[in-house]
Structure 1
Amino acid sequence: MGETHKTDVAIIGAGPVGLFAVFECGMLKMQCHVIDALEGAGGQCVALYPEKPIFDIPGHPSIDAAELIAKLEQQAAPFNPTYHLGHRVEKLTASGEGWRVETNQGAVIEARAVVIAAGCGAFGPNRPPLNDLDQYEGTSVFYLVKRREDFRGKRVVIAGGGDSALDWTIGLADIAERIMVVHRRPKFRGAPESVAKMEALAKEGRIDLVVPYQLHGLVGAQGKLEAVEVATLDGAVKRLEADILLPFFGLAMDLGPIAHWGLNVERNHIVVDPKTCATSAPGIFAVGDIANYPGKLKLILCGFSEAAMTAHAIYPLVHPGEALHFEYSTTKGVPG
């Protein structure tokens, strides 16, 4: 068993809403520990689209996901949060007047309140059913793009017909030596403007549309891809010389252990009180994409608002009997 930590608030999830919850709790003199299964902060923002611009953050006409996370970490830094990254929460049990959080790495955090900001819970890519796929994962097969420069001069096969496939087809067209887009039917499911951009690239000869085909096999050795085999529904096989395969078939969402914590869960979301984001368990709150209530909008800015409401709801649990004299940050400032 690892070291036991005592804190005011345990925040499960280090995505943008979880990071902002650190700031909001800190402004109310509450210390936080933050736990996330990923190796770095940022959640799905950094895992799925670190270099993609986000356009609906107030005050930022456009900001890359990775830059947004860096700024949120900087904003939280004055309150000295403790991060437990690469830790998956396995157990959440009542303990005295609070909760005991245990991770798969042996860390134990005892907190007066818990904030679940876990996005859609544990998530991972839907992997294509290809032989020896695991031998190429991380070297020639990737399920997300962290840096476009990693694909400069490469022959890249992109498989899928949704927004991720379209976005990275467009985003890598000027980076890769060649882009080949494999989809099982001519019609794509992504945003119409993205489809139009992709089709324009194809007409200009800058990318190849390989339709209607689906992935059939991988050719290579020792993790180094030489070609991707694709096949029609009739079984005709075609070989695409390639260095990289990017399969974009969506994410498999799974609440994981959260589903067994006795909370009111509907359709893989935690039902909360819209006024406080309190769950059905006293002292446990949920914010961001994982939280649900009538009229819920899955927007980062709504998650930020939920983080603020939650911090105020937690305050009397951490500081019982103390009146909260609300002050704006322009008056109160932050620790130097």
Structure 2
Amino acid sequence: MSWKYESDILVVGAGPVGLFTVFACGQLGMRCHVVDAFSEIGGQCIALYPEKPIYDIPGFPSVRARELITRLREQAKPYRPKFSLDTLTTGLRRDNRWFFIQTSKGDEILTRAVIVAAGPGAFGPNRPPLAGIEALEGTSVHYWVTDPQQLRGKRIVIAGGGDSAVDWAIVLSDIAASVTLVHRRAKFRASPASLSALLQLSDNKKVDLRVPFQISALEAAEQRLEAVTIEDMDGKRETLDADVLLPFFGLSSDLSALSEFGLGIEGSTIPCDPLTMSTRASGIFAAGDVAFYAHKEKLLVTGFSEAAIAARSAFTYAYPDKPYHFQHSTDRGVPRPVSA
């Protein structure tokens, strides 16, 4: 296999920390190629809570996750990153100081260093055990919402009791024909503020709460959902007319795609040195939730700082003969494209 792409830095993960890594590397004159298992840029911010406000981003008293991703993309855009989405890293070989990264698409990426900003790793939905659900996925069954307007006027059944289920019930109550939230327990795991808003919508008949119930069957015709059967703990069944089912039972994460990198993965994290963000593998660095060290704070602002440190360390590794000159972004001026 001959390499198809070449970059200074391979970034694993296109979530918020991965996008800021592109900017941090671009500030140092390095080009990035970003690989992500998800089909869209934005990671869990887009998959799980695009409309949810985030309050701990410096300079933003409140910013919705979707807007944050949009702004991070704009910040990274001048540095012309390449993106390989819906793609896993499947192998690695080294030649002197170069890495050759194999992907699930059969491509090979030549890069000088690697920064892993993969959050919890490649993630996928926890699919409920319902007969025929696979045939409806992508048309009537969705595990995340990328464009709420596509659900306008639909009869929607949401299953789950966490933040995603509750938040989407709140958001979609304004645009859907009906929203029914099904949860097998009377107690929800959502934040108190979201739960309070949900209960208010329930009182106003804008969201129909069915608790404690769980979904037991789906009715469909021509690969389109028509109804959902729910069942309480005593076996009593009801049928709900439905156009769309949104099962929010969490995501399963997996770092096995990085198993050949020699990172000493521990569960869903990679041990690293907080002073350099270096891992156990020379030339591979980590940032964001995937990076672990003593007293780690899993905040976005922490991940952004780690991305800047990792970029500095990757520059030193990739270009050992080049002097590193620190400059403030105001000294560098308007971001300019990194030369090809």
Q: Fold-level match, TM-score > 0.5? A: yes
The 1:275/1:88 distance shift into structure 2, 3 A limit, reads: same
Mapped partners of 1:267, 1:313: distance in 2: 25
Partner of 1:17: 17
SS in 1 for 2:129: coil
Which amino acid in 1 is paired with 2:113? A
Deviations 1:103-148 (A, max 9, x none): 1112211222100111111101111110000111111111111122
Mapped partners of 2:129, 2:236: distance in 1: 18
Partner of 2:287: 287
CA contact (8 A) 2:9 2:114 kept: yes
Deviations 1:84-113 (A, max 9, x none): 223211112322213211111122112221
Count of residue correspondences: 336
Mapped partners of 1:124, 1:215: distance in 2: 20
Partner of 2:323: 323
The alignment status of 1:38 with 2:38, answered yes or no, reads: yes
TM-score by length of 2: 0.94
TM-score by length of 1: 0.95
The 1:38/1:62 distance shift into structure 2, 3 A limit, reads: same
Q: Report 1:229-248 matches (<5 A).
A: 229-248=229-248
SS in 2 for 1:288: coil
CA contact (8 A) 2:92 2:260 kept: no
1:55 deviates by 2.4
Which amino acid in 2 is paired with 1:198? L
Mapped partners of 2:316, 2:260: distance in 1: 27
Which amino acid in 1 is paired with 2:210? V
Mapped partners of 1:111, 1:323: distance in 2: 20
The alignment status of 1:148 with 2:186, answered yes or no, reads: no
The alignment status of 1:127 with 2:131, answered yes or no, reads: no
Instruction: Give the alignment's Cα RMSD to 1 decimal.
Output: 1.7
1:288 deviates by 0.8
Partner of 1:304: 304
Mapped partners of 2:307, 2:117: distance in 1: 9
The 1:38/1:154 distance shift into structure 2, 3 A limit, reads: same
Runs of 4+ in structure 1 off by over 6 angstroms are none
Structure 2: runs of 5+ lacking an equivalent: none
The alignment status of 1:81 with 2:76, answered yes or no, reads: no
Instruction: State percent identity of aligned pairs.
Output: 49
Structure 1: runs of 5+ lacking an equivalent: none
Deviations 1:138-196 (A, max 9, x none): 11111111122222221111111111111111111111121111111211111122222
Deviations 1:228-287 (A, max 9, x none): 001122322111111111111111111132134321222211111111111111100111
Partner of 2:178: 178
CA contact (8 A) 1:152 1:175 kept: yes
SS in 2 for 1:266: coil
